[in-house]
Chain A
């Protein structure tokens, strides 16, 4: 059977140029015009989640959009344009064609538009923008080559946001007056580190005073909002630097003891050996990335880190290890992590740990011992149906060396993950937070292992409200990550915009190691944005504490909350209100 190649199909001229419709001459198709047939297997912009809308009339062809698009999703293309011209006093149109430069969307799924809107941002004449394509069929065209879809960022197909159903409903009014958020003194600190039952505190009474009489687990009082773990590697060095700058400024200048987790990627040597190390929580995860350098720096450390965080799991992709594509393993990342340029995949679990008890014995003890029992050692796990069992086990830790339980919910972000993991695995955070807190209450052990929660806090931009509600439900504090990236200019969102953190082509220089892209990030401006946000957040937390009459953190004060969802109220054991 004869086959026909698309290139061979030529359309004969349909008319000789003299056909008229309603008296108007219809231009003829040129004899050289090639019309390609459409095969259903071919991908098209209609298949993609974003379609480019370009306005030929207003575009000045400056090329900014094409130069800016890091994904190669648009390209300039010459295009013949037919038109009718009339120059006389009376209409006497003549046929004319011209070749213009047009901006076209690339139809290859490898270069699909992420909707980052950088083209729109740079266009001087508002001539181009991506628009969401609700009817797209991207999941069906994106698995070419047998490779699962990967992405970074956020968006987990979460149908509702329970935090928004919860309000601070117990308002102090007459018997216990509301406080003045601007004038009262507020103490917004929370402990990180193992708390002992009061009757086990190693105190002696001497001359009517309690005096220390033995060793005691390390503990810090810190700000209840922690900058969550994002590694150098997942983040560009400039983004990480901006976070570190902001943290140092908040501590040194604003006297807010904000702590930042390093993420699993090590830390710059200079920082490890500086006074500022005390503001950082160093993370160790299953890949142990960066620990060669950290261990080598230990003899030269002039202060202790704020804490060590053993990462077991991550809420956005539970059961999956970290994933840093080779594209992002630039030379400085290789140096800091001590690895060659290759895909860096942390194992899904810590090799050699087979039980909670063993992890306490081996990992916690060794990390505690490494810093001579002066640094709290905490653990981060993905929220799961089993969270309470793990928590209960840790609460019974006989060595009293578990310094914190970081619980990460499904709405957390990630640098890179398989989409199927992000969208379909994980556990919402609030019910697990509540379960763990109430498990501690049942045992009279609340506060002994501080609970920190993350995963979706600040998604709407209102981190103070989210954090406050979590604290009332029993959290000692929250850790949050995505919001700091958004303050740096990240355009990703829960609806699927951008979220290309896995590609190395971050259009705003946050999640890439490409010098040209990283240059787009203004470190000082980002640090200032983060500091400003923290200062505002601090005021907002006070604005939430004042009406319930509290000047210290209402950890576990669930009576301050009401839920407008009956099922959420029941599950979280708070009052239902309508």
Chain B
């Protein structure tokens, strides 16, 4: 089972917290990788929050191709951070020659303004550019591009999370990189042949999402989503489907967030029929029945405004716990992960999201909970 850890903090925290949580939850030989999305960045990128940040791992040739493309599209580098690495022998992970974490300026005329949230035109350009970069890098396996978005940094590695942490010096609490929102996941051991693109959390147009368990309606989701939006691609992981559905509900349909739960884990017909909005819910179910998930999954997501949400599957087959202590909300797929970071919290206030519940933590760390 994938281990998940999510941190939302009022002050920027280092990735070491997420790594420690991962090790606390580790079982046996469960060591095949580590992936992380950091948002609302502190540290080195704190001053460049409004500039699109490219997260990429590639070969020299891939880097050359990517830079050519970005230049062609009119992007110009603003800030580049080359992490210091500890390249000692015996580290168990598949490293790439280059790790790029670089802020760019928008091309003209979109560089006229750098709002807190990208404009619709800027959003469109960033998504299209990432897809083009992905395509360019996919030739001859020259690399991977994970996110290209302001204030979002992504790292995805295959190997032992402990060694990955060592290589990037992430065990250091004074790390060069900090963030107020961190979503991290370690993959289970069954997927040694898995590609980096299959590692969640996934990011698309301001939305970050990770989830554990098996999406038993993966094929249905995939077949439906691949026609909905040009960015719904890859499908290397069945968890991508959860992100695309969230994005579709919010960005394409413009529906309120509670309908995400209604789409992925619809109420039973019996429950629906008792409600005053049964007509609407039944129509939603009919139109989007191919986006239902129907498996054992906990879904953890971050919205473009920074709010973090948790939704469990309708059968509550996957555990998840949310704990809060002071300026820190820490959640994990196992309570030992939360205990690792905030052991002295009031555990009676811990939240174990129910099968019909959505939990949302806003930027003031206020927790909203509602039943479907």
Given A205-B256, A208-B258, A559-B218, A551:B294 Cβ within 8 A = yes
Let me know if A447 and B287 touch, CB within 8 A.
Answer: yes
Let me know if B287 and A549 touch, CB within 8 A.
Answer: no
Let me know if A221 and B268 touch, CB within 8 A.
Answer: no
Q: How large is the interface on A (under 10, 10 to 19, 20 to 34, 35 or more residues)?
A: 35 or more
For B290, what are the chain A residues with a Cβ–Cβ distance below 8 Å? 446-447, 555-556
For B315, what are the chain A residues with a Cβ–Cβ distance below 8 Å? 179, 184, 551
A542-571 residues at the B interface, CB under 8 angstroms: 548-552, 554-559
Binds B, one of A211-219, A276-284, A317-325, A380-388: A211-219
Binds A, one of B116-124, B161-169, B274-282, B338-346: B274-282
A45 to chain B: closest CB distance in Å?
A: 56
For A551, what are the chain B residues with a Cβ–Cβ distance below 8 Å? 294, 314-315
B320 to chain A: closest CB distance in Å?
A: 16
Let me know if B216 and A172 touch, CB within 8 A.
Answer: yes
Let me know if B280 and A210 touch, CB within 8 A.
Answer: yes
Given A187-B269, A199-B252, A443-B227, A548:B216 Cβ within 8 A = yes
Q: Which of A191, A203, A446, A550 contacts B294 (CB 8 A)?
A: A550
Give Cα A554–Cα B215 distance, bound, in whole angstroms.
12
Let me know if A554 and B287 touch, CB within 8 A.
Answer: no
Q: Which of B190, B213, B283, B288 contacts A216 (CB 8 A)?
A: B283
Would you call B132 an interface residue if the criterion is a C-beta within 8 Å of the partner chain's C-beta atoms? no
Would you call A201 an interface residue if the criterion is a C-beta within 8 Å of the partner chain's C-beta atoms? yes
Given A212-B279, A212-B280, A550:B296 Cβ within 8 A = no
B110 to chain A: closest CB distance in Å?
A: 26
Give Cα A211–Cα B284 distance, bound, in whole angstroms.
11
**Per-residue interface assignment for chain A, residues 43 to 83, with 1 indicating a CB less than 8 Å from any chain B CB and 0 otherwise:** 00000000000000000000000000000000000000000
Let me know if A219 and B282 touch, CB within 8 A.
Answer: yes
Let me know if B268 and A185 touch, CB within 8 A.
Answer: yes
B21 to chain A: closest CB distance in Å?
A: 21
Give Cα A172–Cα B218 distance, bound, in whole angstroms.
13
Give Cα A551–Cα B316 distance, bound, in whole angstroms.
13
Q: Which of A179, A187, A189, A210 contacts B259 (CB 8 A)?
A: A210
For A212, what are the chain B residues with a Cβ–Cβ distance below 8 Å? 279-280
Let me know if A549 and B296 touch, CB within 8 A.
Answer: yes
Would you call A148 an interface residue if the criterion is a C-beta within 8 Å of the partner chain's C-beta atoms? no
Give Cα A189–Cα B292 distance, bound, in whole angstroms.
14
A450 to chain B: closest CB distance in Å?
A: 9
A232 to chain B: closest CB distance in Å?
A: 32
Q: Which of B216, B228, B284, B286 contacts A550 (CB 8 A)?
A: B216
Would you call B192 an interface residue if the criterion is a C-beta within 8 Å of the partner chain's C-beta atoms? no
Give Cα A489–Cα B315 distance, bound, in whole angstroms.
42
A408-447 residues at the B interface, CB under 8 angstroms: 441, 443-444, 446-447
For B259, what are the chain A residues with a Cβ–Cβ distance below 8 Å? 210
Q: Which of A201, A441, A446 contacts B283 (CB 8 A)?
A: A201
Let me know if B216 and A444 touch, CB within 8 A.
Answer: no
Let me know if B268 and A187 touch, CB within 8 A.
Answer: yes
Let me know if A198 and B253 touch, CB within 8 A.
Answer: yes
Give Cα A210–Cα B266 distance, bound, in whole angstroms.
15
B226-261 residues at the A interface, CB under 8 angstroms: 226-228, 248, 252-256, 258-259
Let me know if A205 and B258 touch, CB within 8 A.
Answer: no
Let me know if A176 and B213 touch, CB within 8 A.
Answer: yes
Residue of B nearest to A548 (CB): B216
Given A175-B1, A549-B214, A551-B315, A219:B223 Cβ within 8 A = no
A442 to chain B: closest CB distance in Å?
A: 8
Would you call B79 an interface residue if the criterion is a C-beta within 8 Å of the partner chain's C-beta atoms? no
Interface of B is mostly: loop
Give Cα A261–Cα B108 distance, bound, in whole angstroms.
64
For B252, what are the chain A residues with a Cβ–Cβ distance below 8 Å? 199
Give Cα A441–Cα B219 distance, bound, in whole angstroms.
11
A342-391 residues at the B interface, CB under 8 angstroms: none
Residue of B nearest to A448 (CB): B287
For B218, what are the chain A residues with a Cβ–Cβ distance below 8 Å? 559
Give Cα A445–Cα B227 distance, bound, in whole angstroms.
9
Q: Which of B214, B256, B287 contacts A197 (CB 8 A)?
A: B287
A506 to chain B: closest CB distance in Å?
A: 39
For A144, what are the chain B residues with a Cβ–Cβ distance below 8 Å? none
**Per-residue interface assignment for chain B, residues 31 to 71, with 1 indicating a CB less than 8 Å from any chain A CB and 0 otherwise:** 00000000000000000000000000000000000000000
**Per-residue interface assignment for chain B, residues 203 to 230, with 1 indicating a CB less than 8 Å from any chain A CB and 0 otherwise:** 0000000000110111110011011100
Let me know if B280 and A550 touch, CB within 8 A.
Answer: no
Give Cα A172–Cα B213 distance, bound, in whole angstroms.
11
Give Cα A559–Cα B216 distance, bound, in whole angstroms.
9
Let me know if A198 and B223 touch, CB within 8 A.
Answer: no
Give Cα A549–Cα B296 distance, bound, in whole angstroms.
8
Q: Which of B213, B256, B289 contacts A209 (CB 8 A)?
A: B256
Give Cα A444–Cα B314 distance, bound, in whole angstroms.
26
Would you call A139 an interface residue if the criterion is a C-beta within 8 Å of the partner chain's C-beta atoms? no
Q: With A219-B286, A557-B217 given, name 14 new contacts (CB 8 A).
A: A175-B188, A177-B296, A201-B287, A208-B256, A216-B283, A219-B282, A221-B282, A447-B287, A549-B214, A549-B294, A554-B220, A556-B290, A557-B219, A557-B220
Q: List 27 A-B contacts (CB under 8 A).
A: A172-B214, A175-B1, A176-B296, A176-B317, A187-B266, A187-B268, A195-B287, A198-B248, A198-B253, A198-B284, A199-B252, A199-B253, A203-B255, A210-B256, A219-B283, A221-B282, A441-B227, A444-B226, A447-B286, A447-B289, A549-B294, A550-B294, A551-B315, A552-B292, A552-B294, A556-B223, A556-B290
A residues with CB within 8 A of B: 172, 175-177, 179, 184-185, 187, 189, 191, 193, 195-199, 201, 203, 205, 208-212, 216, 219, 221, 441, 443-444, 446-447, 548-552, 554-559
B residues with CB within 8 A of A: 1, 188, 190, 213-214, 216-220, 223-224, 226-228, 248, 252-256, 258-259, 266, 268-269, 277, 279-280, 282-284, 286-290, 292, 294-296, 314-315, 317
The 3 A-B residue pairs with the shortest CB-CB distance, nearest first, are: A444-B227, A176-B214, A198-B287
